[in-house]
Amino acid sequence: MNLLRTWLVARKDLRLGPRSPIFLYALVMPVVATLMVSVVFGSLFAPQPRLGIVDHGQSVLSEEAELLEDIQVTFLESEDELKTRVEENGLDAGLILQEGFDEALMAKESPQLNFFIGGESLASNRVIIAVTTFDLVRGVAGSASLIDVDIETIGDDVALPVSQRLVPMLVMLAVIIAGLFVPAASLVEEKEHDTLNAVLVTPTQMPDVLAAKGLVGFVLAVATAIVTLILNNAFSNDPVALLLVIMIAALMAVEFGLILGSWAPDSNTLFTVAKGGNFFLMLPVFFFLWPGLPQWIPKLMPTYYFLSPLFSVAIEGASLAEVLPELTIAGAICVALMPVVLLMGRRMESVLASE
């Protein structure tokens, strides 16, 4: 591989890149996807706080709660059902009123109020429900503070809204489109227009072409992934660790893109195969959205080994040392893919020479 020839091909692709719809889509997609997630899952359309109540004594507090307009109140029959609904994020909080609760308040005693909070509920919903509940209690008691509140968090200790759990998916989309589709589509386009044959009759060799296409996809994937993290306020925890994760992710995506682009004879085949292949590459994302699913399944996918470190560092605040074992596996996968890239490049060169 010649570095000068590689740079000349890469510079040509960068100069002509804005003419390609896929190239432009890779640049615009992170911003558009982040805005869509913010609108759908952000505070603009945030759901009403959801409170569940189990009333063992027909408390006046239940009657007052039923009249609330800004809180969705659900009455349940059993404590177990209430805890299950809260733990599964079906409710933001749960309230258990023991028999004789009102009488104890009237007698100036301190009855226990069992108050359960969902670990995945929005912090704003928790505050609204807690303040409203305490106001209802004070209204029934006619006093400022007569109760002994027992608050218990059910589910994850750290509340992770859906918008944060979607960050790996947004980064994955940015990396796949820029790192996989851009090099693959560029190779296929050049084969369809016979420009690749024209390049190969010059001193430029196939390894130079593959390295140039990969370089463009790598730079674009790293840039769009960083922009995506910044837009989602997830790049500030450990920039060095995140940059390393992104670089490994971009390299893996580029290698898959070069393999696919070398194999696909035309654009229709490229996009047909990519549609099915992307499902398997994106599969680990769903297990970050629903952590209750069996966690051994995503470990069968190569993309898991950079998505998991990405989630741990960007969302959970893990250090580089904590995610290094998974990153090492991701790096090993990248090394193992390099001979495959070269083999597919030679195969493509042979096919072009025979035409």
Structure tokens at 13: 């692709």
Q: Which residues contact 152 (CB under 8 A, 6 or more apart)?
A: 114, 115, 116, 117
pLDDT of residue 43: 46
For residues 336 and 341, give the distance between their C-alpha atoms in angstroms, rounded to a whole number: 10
Contact 260, 180 (CB under 8 A): yes
What HEC string does the chain produce?
CCHHHHHHHHHHHHHHHHHCHHHHHHHHHHHHHHHHHHHHHCHHHCCCCEEEEEECCCCHHHHHHHCCCCCEEEECCCHHHHHHHHHCCCCCEEEEECCCHHHHHHCCCCCEEEEEEECCCCHHHHHHHHHHHHHHHHHHHCCCCCCEEEEEEECCCCCCCHHHHCHHHHHHHHHHHHHHHHHHHHHHHHHHCCHHHHHHCCCCCHHHHHHHHHHHHHHHHHHHHHHHHHHCCCCCCCHHHHHHHHHHHHHHHHHHHHHHHHHCCCHHHHHHHHHHHHHHHHHHHHHHHCCCCCCCCHHHCCCHHHHHHHHHHHCCCCCHHHHHHHHHHHHHHHHHHHHHHHHHHHHHHHHHHHC
pLDDT of residue 157: 47
pLDDT of residue 74: 87
**Unique residue bearing structure tokens 């840039």:** 223
Q: Provide φ and ψ at 275, rounded to 5°.
A: -60, -45
pLDDT of residue 41: 57
How far is C-alpha 298 from the chain's CA centre?
A: 14
What are the pLDDT tens digits along the chain (355 aa)?
Answer: 667 777 777 777 777 777 777 777 777 877 787 777 666 555 444 567 888 888 887 888 888 888 887 788 888 888 888 888 888 888 888 888 888 888 887 777 777 778 888 877 777 677 788 878 887 877 777 655 444 445 455 555 444 556 667 778 888 888 888 888 888 888 888 888 878 777 777 787 888 888 888 898 899 999 988 888 888 777 766 788 889 999 999 999 999 989 988 888 888 888 888 777 777 777 887 777 776 778 888 888 888 888 888 888 887 778 888 889 999 999 999 999 999 999 988 888 787 777 6
For residues 63 and 57, give the distance between their C-alpha atoms in angstroms, rounded to a whole number: 12
Smallest CA-to-CA distance from 113 within 172, 63, 73, 56 is with 56
Structure tokens at 134: 């305490």
142: left (phi over 0), alpha (psi -120 to 50) or beta: left
Contact 258, 193 (CB under 8 A): no
Q: Which residues contact 313 (CB under 8 A, 6 or more apart)?
A: 237, 238, 241, 242, 245, 319, 320, 323
Structure tokens at 332: 């090993």
How far is C-alpha 1 from the chain's CA centre?
A: 37
pLDDT of residue 38: 63
User: Is 46-154 in CATH node 3.90.550.10?
Assistant: no
pLDDT of residue 104: 81
Give the CA distances from residue 76 to residues 64, 120, 126, in Å, rounded to whole numbers and listed in that order.
16, 20, 19
Structure tokens at 201: 């009759």
Task: Delimit the CATH 3.40.1710.10 region(s) of the chain.
Answer: 46-154
Contact 234, 160 (CB under 8 A): no
For residues 139 and 146, give the distance between their C-alpha atoms in angstroms, rounded to a whole number: 11
